[in-house]
């Protein structure tokens, strides 16, 4: 997540949508007073900052349904990670200081759910010599929808949902709104997937499971299998 006071925008980072690459590109245009969360980037060009503060773990531990594992909550409490990657909008706006940011331009990137699940499958087992079959993965994997990250009370709460399928075009639209050129991101974590046409991975049964799991974003963003 990035909160830019300089350009008055909030980037909500979703999963398997080139989020790390987009975050790295956005960090380059941020000012020293902007909030840039830690992520999987380890180099001398990406500089997380201003994300620490006192953390009250109770809202995270007792919220139902719980969105974060207890171990991660306690770690963030100890390290003072007040604002973090993949933070939900409702969590961000629950922070007292965030009330002054509500009017910022809010955006995220989303991806066709059927394609997203194939990407997640290859990413999850990227370091293993063998992996379960795709049907078992789809049937058993949980907590895969990102809809709650960028929605409030069941409705999309960001001003713009960019499309992974047209990432450069989406970033151009965002750049026009914030009136700042966004450098085209280099793609990280992009070499773990062997099957590029996600449709070849699916049976009718698996298509339906994904359709049910991602029903909210499919309806809100008009995604289809083809």
With b for 16 or more beta-carbon neighbours within 10 A and e for fewer, the 14-47 pattern comes to bbbbbbbbbbbbbbebbeeebbbbbbeeeeeebe
Instruction: Give me the chain's average pLDDT, please.
Output: 91
Give residue 190's pLDDT band: very low, low, confident or very high (50, 70, 90).
low
pLDDT in tens, 78-96: 999 999 999 999 999 999 9
Radius of gyration of the chain (CA): 18
pLDDT in tens, 118-137: 999 999 888 887 889 999 99
Q: How many CB atoms lie within 10 A of CB 185?
A: 19
CATH classification of 2-221 is 1.10.357, yes or no? no
Give residue 194's pLDDT band: very low, low, confident or very high (50, 70, 90).
low
Does residue 73 have a cis bond before it (omega within 30 degrees)? no
Could you tell me if 109 and 220 are in contact, meaning their C-beta atoms sit under 8 angstroms apart?
Answer: no
> Which tokens go with 147?
């809809």
> Which tokens go with 69?
């594992």
Give residue 40's pLDDT band: very low, low, confident or very high (50, 70, 90).
confident
Interatomic CA distance for residues 156 and 61, integer angstroms: 25
Model pTM?
0.92
């Amino acid at each position: 997540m990035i909160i830019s006071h300089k350009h008055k925008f909030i980037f909500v980072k979703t999963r398997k949508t080139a989020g790390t690459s987009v975050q790295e590109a956005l960090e380059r245009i941020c000012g020293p007073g902007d909030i840039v969360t830690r992520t999987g980037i380890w180099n001398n060009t990406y500089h997380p900052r201003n994300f620490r503060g006192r953390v009250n773990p109770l809202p995270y531990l007792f919220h139902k349904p719980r969105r974060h594992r207890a171990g991660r909550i306690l770690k963030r409490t100890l390290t003072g990670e007040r604002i973090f990657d993949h933070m939900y909008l409702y969590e961000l706006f629950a922070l007292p200081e965030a009330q002054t940011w509500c009017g910022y331009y809010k955006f995220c990137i989303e991806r066709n759910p059927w394609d997203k699940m194939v990407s997640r499958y290859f990413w999850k087992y990227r370091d293993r010599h063998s992996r379960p079959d795709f049907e078992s993965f789809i049937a058993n994997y949980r907590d895969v929808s990102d809809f709650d990250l960028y929605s409030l009370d069941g409705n999309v709460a960001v001003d713009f949902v960019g499309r992974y399928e047209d990432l450069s075009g989406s970033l151009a639209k965002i750049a026009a709104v914030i009136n700042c050129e966004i450098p085209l991101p280099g793609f990280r974590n992009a070499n773990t997937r062997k099957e590029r046409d996600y449709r070849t991975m699916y049976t009718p049964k698996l298509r339906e499971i994904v359709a049910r799991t991602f029903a909210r974003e499919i309806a809100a963003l008009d995604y289809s299998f083809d």
